[in-house]
């Protein structure tokens, strides 16, 4: 899943209005921010196999530290604690923790059985990626809902707040549509580099745009 994760980040702003959208995106996508770094370091492994699933050519051979349920609970608790130290309130901790763990839940729905419960443990997955039309429908529905909740919970203070929000939203949607055919990347190295650069670019734009929007609460 891709924009479905970001959808939850958008929606979460309704419940933790003092937390930046960039932080909420980072929580929902923490697994995918850790993963390319760990692949680059040789700690986790992925292989490009065209046709591996109908939606993606990636075979996730091993990613126990970035994508197992147990480690995401630990990462989520740590990230939630850090966020709670910056923005007081138990709700911040719980929402950030829930966003981090939600990554496993959503990937469990879309992935083939490769989502580990814990490092070295059993793997699960419902394989929605093998039904492209259903994958597309679910992700778009989630994304539209999340963006709508965010737009209702905040309002633009200026042109940056308005167009920055539109820009990052369009960027995510276009990226999803461009990858919908599951076109194989040229190499694992280029894919990892692109994931790191685009991931941080997304957070930077989200932080910039959200800083120019006022929460309704």
Query: What is the per-residue pLDDT across 13-60, written as a single tens digit (0 to 9) for each?
Result: 999 999 999 999 999 999 999 999 999 999 999 999 998 888 889 999
Q: If you average pLDDT over residues 89-99, what whole number do you get? A: 95
**pLDDT at site 89:** 84
**pLDDT at site 1:** 79
Contact by Cβ (8 Å): 4, 138:
yes
Q: How is the chain split into domains, by residue range?
A: 3-215
Q: If you average pLDDT over residues 173-179, what whole number do you get? A: 88
pLDDT at 189 exceeding the cut of 60: yes
Contact by Cβ (8 Å): 108, 126:
yes
**214 - beta bridge partners?**
155
pLDDT at 174 exceeding the cut of 80: yes
CA angle 214, 215, 217 (to 5 degrees): 140
Q: If you average pLDDT over residues 183-207, what whole number do you get? A: 94
Residue in the block written with tokens 């492994």: 45
> How far out from the chain centre does Cα 180 lie?
16
The more confident residue out of 87 and 143 is 143
Tokens at residue 11, please? 């929606």
Q: If you average pLDDT over residues 89-104, what whole number do you get? A: 96
Q: If you average pLDDT over residues 142-170, what whole number do you get? A: 96
Helix (H) or strand (E) holding 73: helix 69-86
**pLDDT at site 178:** 84
pLDDT at 180 exceeding the cut of 90: no
End-to-end CA distance of the chain: 30
**pLDDT at site 92:** 96
Q: What's the pLDDT tens digit per position in 59-82? A: 999 999 999 999 999 999 999 999
**pLDDT at site 216:** 65
Residue in the block written with tokens 């995106």: 25
pLDDT at 217 exceeding the cut of 60: no
**pLDDT at site 136:** 92
Average pLDDT, the chain: 94
């Amino acid at each position: 899943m891709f924009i479905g994760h970001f959808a939850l980040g958008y929606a979460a702003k309704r419940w933790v209005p003092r937390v930046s959208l960039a932080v909420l995106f980072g929580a929902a996508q923490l697994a995918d921010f850790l993963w390319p770094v760990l692949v680059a370091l040789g700690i986790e492994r992925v292989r490009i196999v065209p046709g591996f699933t109908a939606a993606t050519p990636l075979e996730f051979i091993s990613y126990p530290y970035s994508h197992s349920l147990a480690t995401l609970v630990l990462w989520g608790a740590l990230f939630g604690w850090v966020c709670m130290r910056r923005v007081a309130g138990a709700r911040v901790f719980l929402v950030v923790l829930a966003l981090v763990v939600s990554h496993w839940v959503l990937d469990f729905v879309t992935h083939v059985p490769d989502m580990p419960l814990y490092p070295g443990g059993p793997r699960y997955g419902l394989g929605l990626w093998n039904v492209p039309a259903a994958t597309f429908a679910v992700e778009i529905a989630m994304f539209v809902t999340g963006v709508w909740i965010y737009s209702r919970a905040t309002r633009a203070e200026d042109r940056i707040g308005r167009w920055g929000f539109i820009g990052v939203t369009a960027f995510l949607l276009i990226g999803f549509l461009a990858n919908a055919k599951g076109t194989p990347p040229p190499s694992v190295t280029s894919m990892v580099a692109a994931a790191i650069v685009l991931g941080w670019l997304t957070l930077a734009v989200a932080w910039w745009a959200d800083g120019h929007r006022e929460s309704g609460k």
